Amino acid sequence: MANHKSAEKRARQTERRNEINSRNRGALRTQIKKLRTAIAEGDRATAQSILTATMSLIDKSIQKGILHQNAAARHKSRLTASVNGMSS
């Protein structure tokens, strides 16, 4: 429990930041799941359109500090390879 004024403020800031980070992380995970579902269903056109939105969200997640740059690159690479590997 925070006893000092500065510690109480930091606790409030951490709570707010944690909520924002959780929301952003959840949105990213949902978008990736949508793309993986489209890939599993074999719908190439839908997967292509979702891929661009997913790439954008992954890049934004790097800027927001939600995802490490290397982890983001790994996600992008694997998702792109999955979409490109689909039969047309």
Domain count for the chain, please give it. Answer: 1
Domain that holds residue 49: 5-84
Q: What is the mean pLDDT of residues 72-88?
A: 92
Whichever domain contains 47, its CATH number is 1.20.58.110
- Beta-carbon contacts of residue 44 (< 8 Å; ≥ 6 apart): 83, 86, 87, 88
Percent of the chain with pLDDT over 90: 92
The string of pLDDT tens digits covering residues 56-76 is 999 999 999 999 999 999 999
Q: Give the tokens for residue 38.
A: 């489209």
Q: Give the tokens for residue 11.
A: 């606790």
Task: Write down the pLDDT at residue 86.
Answer: 86
Q: Look up the pTM and report it.
A: 0.85
Task: Write down the pLDDT at residue 88.
Answer: 61
The string of pLDDT tens digits covering residues 38-62 is 999 998 999 999 999 999 999 999 9
Give the closest residue to 29 by CA, choosing from 80, 64, 67, 65: 67
